[in-house]
Amino acid sequence: MSDQIRVFSVDDHPLLREGIAALVNNQPDMVLVAEASNGAEAIQLFKQHLPDVTLMDLRLPDMSGIDIVIALRSEFPEARIIMLTTFEGDVEIHRALQAGARGYLLKNMPPSELLDVIRQVHAGKKRIPPEIASQLAEHMSDQNLTEREVEVLRQVADGNRNRDIAKKLFISEETVKVHIKHIMEKLGASDRTQAVSIGIRRGIIQL
């Protein structure tokens, strides 16, 4: 039948895809039309199948799920994409939603919830859990780290001294200090070490 919701799943965990496949195909009103395990595959298969709803892992091996969202929505602005993530409080989710994702789900949510969200997003609604929405607002007023600051924070996490960071980024040690000062202010950290903890916890820098 043609009124089934055509679902597309993008995740690098085969077992999880298997779970989604089993779940979705068990619904009378849904059918899984394709699966991808990386960004390139995702974009190619999306164009080929033009699914109604796409389930997208936030973190993929080759590129960020966000970049895929941006790529897809620049060509298909009506694409309905739901982000899946393992980690609560992941900052990346905000960028994904800004990039045009329509929904957001933690991977440890019950399957019924996933099905709900698929149906709602397909129906044209946005489905973002309230605690995320408020977090979103918070983070808006909250200051996000700039690209340069993220770059510095990564260096800090690797145990580099200000002097070394300065050399690597071709700036003065004093400027590095300024960046770190701003990073700590924005993250509410009392020192560089806590800034790194928070940065990792929020997904600003990767493991």
Partner DNA sequence: TTTTAAGTACCACGATGGTGGTACGACTGC
Partner DNA sequence: GCAGTCGTACCACCATCGTGGTACTTAAAA
Tokens of 11: 């995740």
CA distance 72 to 78: 9
Nearer to a second copy, 186 or 201 (CB): 201
Nearer to DNA, 35 or 92 (CB): 92
Residue 200 as a binder of a second copy (CB under 8 A): the answer is yes
CA distance 182 to 188: 10
Q: Choose, by CB under 8 A, the member of 10, 152, 156, 183 that binds a second copy.
A: 156
CB of 190 to a second copy, least distance (A): 4
User: Minimal CA–CA distance to 64: which of 90, 32, 103, 88?
Assistant: 90
Strand order in the sheet with 53-57: 30-36, 5-10, 53-57, 81-85, 103-106
8 A C-beta contact, residue 82 and residue 53: yes
> Going residue by residue from 96 to 115, which x/- string records binding to a second copy, judged by CB under 8 A?
-----------xxxxx--x-
Nearer to a second copy, 69 or 156 (CB): 156
User: Minimal CA–CA distance to 90: which of 48, 68, 41, 57?
Assistant: 57
CB of 107 to a second copy, least distance (A): 6
Residue 149 as a binder of DNA (CB under 7 A): the answer is yes
Residue 139 as a binder of DNA (CB under 7 A): the answer is no
Residue 86 as a binder of a second copy (CB under 8 A): the answer is yes
Nearer to a second copy, 73 or 192 (CB): 192
